Amino acid sequence: MVAISVQELTLRFPVYGVDAKSLKKHVARVTVGGRLGMHAHATHVTALSNINLELNAGDRLGLIGHNGSGKTTLLRALSGAYEPNEGRVEVFGRIASLLDLNLGIDPTATGLDNIYLRGRVAGLSAREIDGRIDEISEFSGLGPFLAMPLKTYSAGMQARLAFAVATSVEADVVLMDEWIAVGDEEFQTTAHARLDDLIARAGILVLASHNLELIRGYCNKVMRLTGGVASEVTDIRRLDDLLAA
């Protein structure tokens, strides 16, 4: 079974050391970000408010909205990084969370050690990493540099290694915050094909992006977030109508 079920999801983050009334005066004209208020006698931002979402195998959902609208927060909630303040989130199936490729990276450890570290963060067992190590190493193209500490790598080399590990999983649900583009032009071509293959094998894709053509190309459903409040999930063919609403 591969499915995502979100019911009345609300996420709040406390804001310490500020007064809600004075802060509201400064952000009254801001159209992005969550809603400010008081909860349990503390100033807080409601990042997501009463989100409802049901996805099944074959669904490819695009999340659209301005910066600060709640797209990344929702993806993190689906990944299990955030615990709901209200409501519930249920994800059935193995998740590939392509939100922060640098998560779990240790600059003092070797490239090889970082494959194991990042693999465990991605949910792979030590045995699974052992079975993938040759393929990950070859795809990264880093060769003897894998024996070197990551702090000796260029930013591009680090990104190649992180990408190779993150996309080595067998996932039922793929969560992506913008499309990943790493390395030089030649590597980007192979990386794009690898990412396409990962998505094709997955049951569900949830992709947040400002690139509407990317959303049209990969998604069959779309949801718009505004200040932490979500529209209904609609067919991708109604994207223009959703944007105009």
Q: Answer yes or no: is pLDDT of 88 > 60.
A: yes
Q: Answer yes or no: is pLDDT of 35 > 90.
A: no
The C-alpha atoms of residue 98 and residue 12 are separated, in whole angstroms, by: 23
pLDDT in tens, 184-203: 788 888 989 999 999 999 99
The per-residue pLDDT for 30 is 45
Q: What is the mean pLDDT of residues 135-155?
A: 94
Residue range 3-94+206-244 forms a domain whose CATH class is: alpha beta
Q: Which residue has the higher pLDDT, 159 or 18?
A: 159
The C-alpha atoms of residue 219 and residue 179 are separated, in whole angstroms, by: 13
| DSSP H or E segment with residue 118 | helix 111-121
The per-residue pLDDT for 184 is 78
pLDDT in tens, 111-132: 999 999 988 888 889 999 999 9
Q: What is the mean pLDDT of residues 225-236?
A: 96
Q: What is the mean pLDDT of residues 205-215?
A: 95
The per-residue pLDDT for 29 is 43
Q: Is residue 38 exposed (0-12), middle (13-18) or buried (19+ Cβ within 10 Å)?
A: exposed
Q: Domain residues of the chain, as ranges?
A: 3-94+206-244
Among the listed ranges 7-11, 28-32, 42-46, 235-239, which one has the minimum average pLDDT value?
Answer: 28-32
The per-residue pLDDT for 238 is 96
The per-residue pLDDT for 37 is 57
The per-residue pLDDT for 135 is 95
The per-residue pLDDT for 180 is 82
The C-alpha atoms of residue 108 and residue 99 are separated, in whole angstroms, by: 22
What does pTM read for this prediction?
A: 0.85
Cα 19 to chain centroid, rounded: 32
User: Taking CA 174 as the corner, what is the angle to CA 170 and CA 179, rounded to the nearest 5 degrees?
Assistant: 120
The share of the chain scoring above pLDDT 90, in percent, equals 67
For residue 140, give both structure tokens: 């990264």
